[in-house]
Amino acid sequence: MKLYNKLVRDNIPAIIEKDGKKAEISTLDQDAFLKALKDKLAEEAQEVTQTSTTEELIMELADIQEIIDALKDEYGISSSDINMAQAIKAIKNGKFKNRTFLIKVEDK
Closest CA to 67 of 18, 8, 108: 8
pLDDT at 81: 98
Overall number of domains in the chain: 1
**Tell me, what's the pLDDT at 89?**
98
- Confirm whether 75 is domain-assigned: yes
- 23 with 17: CB under 8 angstroms? yes
Write the single-letter amino acid at 19: D
Task: Assign residue 29 a region (left: φ > 0; alpha: ψ between -120 and 50; beta: otherwise).
Answer: beta
Residue 69 lies in a domain: yes
Task: Please tell me the number of Cα atoms within 13 Å of 77 on its side-chain side.
Answer: 14
Residue-number span of the structural domain to which 47 is assigned: 30-93
Domain assignment of residue 72, yes or no: yes
* The model scores a pTM over 0.85: yes
The confidence score (pLDDT) of residue 69 equals 98
